[in-house]
Structure 1
Amino acid sequence: MRTSDRGGRRRATRVAAAGLAIAGLFVLAGCAPRSPGGGPFGDGSQAERVVRGMPEGWTGPDPDLLDGEPVVGWVSDTEFGVVTMGSSSCPAVARELEVLGAREVQIEFGQSPNDPCTADMAATTHVFELPPTVDGRPVTVIVKLDGFEPEFALELE
């Protein structure tokens, strides 16, 4: 009886340890920084994709992390990007892209729903497909950041 009792305790200990390991993975997954962008995280981004740092093909200016102002540039012949600065775990979210004319778009950015956020400063690029009705050059991209004044009128050449 002692042998079977000891085996039962070992099995229960292994099951409990496995359960704790699985629970730990769920906790870590819940606390891990989320990837920016739409899709599975449901942050509401209207960007085609969101890239930490600068995407491949970027032809715009390098952002200045100290002044924190957004910059725009081309990513491909039909895609442009808006680089915002902020917490790497809570980047701004592109809420709405509006075509204002054949050479002008406006993009409103809101705050990330992620919480808590890291206290760092990182560049995040929000990549958009150029709407077909925007066919002139240069293109003015008006960037509005929720809670910040003024808005930024940036040129895509």
Structure 2
Amino acid sequence: MYKIPESVLVVIYTKDLQVLLMERADKPDYWQSVTGSKDAPEEPLSATAVREVREETGIMVADESGAVPLSHLRDWRLSNVYEIYPVWRHRYAPGVTKNTEHVFGLLVPADTRIVLAPREHLQYQWLPYRAAADLCFSPSNAEAILQLPRYLNDS
């Protein structure tokens, strides 16, 4: 089954502008925020974001006790169309070369516990937002992180 070329990028952050970055297991030294494709064309983007955050970090986003409230997940209404890196094109249908990425932000408490998916990520770190942007391998991820102060005021 091929990946759907529509995905989410979720910038996870704290009120003091610390950003969670994770190192890819399949590409060491490639640091990023949570990313992931829709499971089905009809899957709502917010559901994709909630699922990917849970799968990659163990953070539950829901309106229930012990979870980060769903209201803390914000659609930043930004999207990027980018060329899929050749190393990952085999995951998509033949001829698919571009992906549309939709950007979300997730405000979490500073003491949020992170449990990485070991097949996806090697380690994580919290960094001030500018340092996090500098470390990202993806230009669209870095640009989204640099927009964080603008969206923090809307949280």
Which fold has the larger relative contact order, with Cα–Cα distance below 8 Å and residues 6 or more apart in sequence? Answer: 2
Class of the TM-score when normalised by the shorter of the 2 chains: under 0.3
TM-score (norm 2): 0.27
State which structure, 1 or 2, has the greater radius of gyration over its C-alpha atoms.
1
